[in-house]
Amino acid sequence: MSPRDHAPSYYAATAHPAAHRAPLQDRVRADVCVVGAGFTGVSAALHLAERGYDVVLLDGARVGWGASGRSGAQIVTAFAADMAKIRGWVGAANARRLFDMAEESKRLIAERVDRHGIACDLVWSRFDAANKPGHLDELKAMQADWAETYGYTGTTLVGRDALPGYVDSDAYVGGLHDPGGGHLHPLNYVLGLARAAEDAGARIFEESPVTEVAFGAKPVATTPAGRVEADYLLFCTNAYLDNLVPALQRKVMPVGTYIAATEPLGENRATALLPRNSGVTDCNFVLDYFRRTPDHRLLYGGRVSYSTIMPPNLPRAMRAKMLRVFPQLSDTHFDYVWGGYVGITVERMPHLGRLHDNVFFAQGFSGHGVALTGFAGKLLAETVAGQAERFDVMAQLPHTTFPGGRLLRTPLLTLAMLWYRMRDYLP
C-alpha cells in the first residue's frame, strides 16, 4: 500500500469506488487554488464552482486521506469550547451568530447528502455520556443554556435508570441525548462531495503536495511536477500543513487519534449496545467515542497521542478501553484498527483568517470538524465572492500560539495533557 493511499480502515474497506485522479503535471491558471482535499477544501471547491469560479483543488495524497476520511465522524452540536466561554470572547450577539452557524453546518450536511445523492449512512442521533455525577451536572447546565439562550430544544437529560435505552453500559451515570446530532460514513461523504465539485466544474489533482507558495497579486502554489497561478489561494490542510506556512503551523497542533472496528456483531447484539443508534461521546477531556455501523459492528475510538508517536500495542490498548465500557464484548475481536492526525487549537475553536487580501485559511476544528469543516468551506467561498461578514465573525475568535516553538511545543503539550488525564480520573 502506498503511503498516499487511504488508511486501512473500516471506512476504506467499505468506501464506494473512486478512481485515482492524476497528479498535476503542468502549469495551470485558475480563479481559485484550494490546497487540501478534506471536508473543508472539497466543500470550498464545490461552493466556488457552483458560483461559477474556475477552481483547482490540490492534495498531497488522495481526497479524504486525512482526518476527513477516517475520523469518528460524529456530527456534534455547537463547538468544542462551551458557549459561555465563547460569549466571553466575542460577546452575546456574535456568540448567537456562531451558534446559528454551527446549526447551519448540520443542515448543510443534510442538504448536500440529499441534493447530490451521497450514500454515506447518515443517521441523526447523538448521546453525550456522563462518566461521573459532575459531568451530568455540566450536561444539565449546557442543556439549559442551549435552550434558554439559543432556542435549541429537544434534547433529553437521561439518568442512570433510563441509560440502557441509550447506552447499555454501567460505565456511565447518565447523559444527554441530542436528536439534532448524528454520524455518517466520512470517506463516502467526502468522496461524494468531491464528485459533486467535479460535476460543477472543479479540477481535482491527487498526489500533488504543495512544496512552495508565493504570495502576491497572483499567488502561486508549486507541486513536484506543476504549479497553479490563481487570483485566490485557500489553505485547507489542517493537521497536515507541515512547514509550508509557519505562521499557521504555530496555531494548530497535530494530535494522533485512533479507532477500531469490531467484527460484525449481528443486528440484535449491536442494537442492544446502542438502542437508538446514537453516536456516543463521553465527557472526559481525553474522551472515548463510539457508534454502530450499518453492518452491525461497533466503531470505538479512544486512544490519543499528543506526542505524535503511535502508542505501542495499539489493538490491545483499544480493546482494553472498549471492554471497560462494554465488558459483554469480551468474546469479540477487531477487524480494523487505524489512526492518524486531527488538528487542534489551544482554545479548541476553529481557526479561520487571512494571510493576505487574497490568501485565506481554515484549520484547527478540534474534534468538531465533521459539520464545521463543510461550513468553513462555504464561508471561504463567500469571502472569495466578497461576502466576508460571517467569515469575519469566525475570524475574530482568539487563537493562542502553542508555546515552545517547533522543538518544544509537542513535549509541552504532552506534559499539559497529563494533568487533564489525571483530572478525568478524579471522582
Q: What is the mean pLDDT of residues 84-105?
A: 97
3-class DSSP string for 383-419: HHCCCCHHHHHHHCCCCCCCCCHHHHHHHHHHHHHHH
Rounded Cα distance, 208 and 379, in Å: 25
Rounded Cα distance, 190 and 198, in Å: 12
Rounded Cα distance, 322 and 301, in Å: 8
Please, where in the chain does CATH 3.50.50.60 lie? 10-71+187-252+347-414
pLDDT over 90 at 303, yes or no: no
Half-sphere exposure of residue 114: CA atoms within 13 angstroms, side-chain side: 7
pLDDT over 70 at 423, yes or no: no
**How far is C-alpha 318 from the geometric centre of its chain's CA atoms?**
20
**Higher per-residue pLDDT: 107 or 312:** 107
Percent of the chain residues topping a pLDDT of 70: 92
Q: Which residues pair with 159 in a beta bridge?
A: 174
Which H or E run includes 342?
strand 334-344
Q: What is the mean pLDDT of residues 126-147?
A: 97
Topology classification of domain 10-71+187-252+347-414: FAD/NAD(P)-binding domain (3.50.50)
List, edge to edge, every strand of the sheet that includes 253-262.
156-159, 174-178, 126-130, 279-282, 289-292, 298-305, 253-262, 334-344
**How far is C-alpha 362 from the geometric centre of its chain's CA atoms?**
12
Say what the pLDDT of residue 306 is: 62
Number of Cβ within 10 Å of residue 212's Cβ equals 10
Query: CA-based angle 80:82:86, to the nearest 5?
Result: 105
Question: What CATH superfamily classification does 122-183+254-344 receive?
Answer: D-Amino Acid Oxidase, subunit A, domain 2 (3.30.9.10)
Is residue 181 within 8 A of residue 110, CB to CB? The reply is no
Q: Would you state the torsion angle of the CA atoms of residues 398, 255, 293, 282, taken in this order, to the nearest 10 degrees?
A: -60
Please, where in the chain does CATH 3.30.9.10 lie? 122-183+254-344
Q: Is the pTM of this model over 0.75?
A: yes
Interval 245-294: pLDDT, tens: 888 888 888 888 899 999 999 999 999 999 999 999 999 878 899 999 99
Rounded Cα distance, 51 and 161, in Å: 52
Rounded Cα distance, 268 and 392, in Å: 49
Which H or E run includes 42?
helix 39-50
Is residue 135 within 8 A of residue 425, CB to CB? The reply is no
- Of 35, 39, 44, residue with least CA distance to 64: 39
Q: Can you say whether the dihedral through the CA atoms of 74, 79, 82, 84 is positive or negative?
A: negative
Q: CA–CA distance from 160 to each of 104, 116, 150, 174, 231 (Å)?
A: 32, 41, 27, 5, 57
Q: What is the mean pLDDT of residues 12-21?
A: 95
Is residue 259 within 8 A of residue 300, CB to CB? The reply is yes
- With left for phi above 0 and alpha for psi between -120 and 50, is residue 108 left, alpha or beta? alpha
- Indicate the residue type of 257: T
Interval 173-200: pLDDT, tens: 999 999 999 999 999 999 999 999 999 9
Say what the pLDDT of residue 272 is: 98
Q: CA–CA distance from 5 to each of 12, 19, 192, 300, 343 (Å)?
A: 9, 12, 18, 22, 20
- When pLDDT is cut at 50, 70 and 90, the band that residue 408 belongs to is very low
Interval 357-403: pLDDT, tens: 999 999 999 888 999 999 999 999 999 999 999 999 999 999 888 75
273 contact partners, CB below 8 Å, separation of at least 6: 167, 168, 169, 265, 292, 298, 326, 328, 329
Say what the pLDDT of residue 2 is: 64
Say what the pLDDT of residue 422 is: 44
Say what the pLDDT of residue 142 is: 98
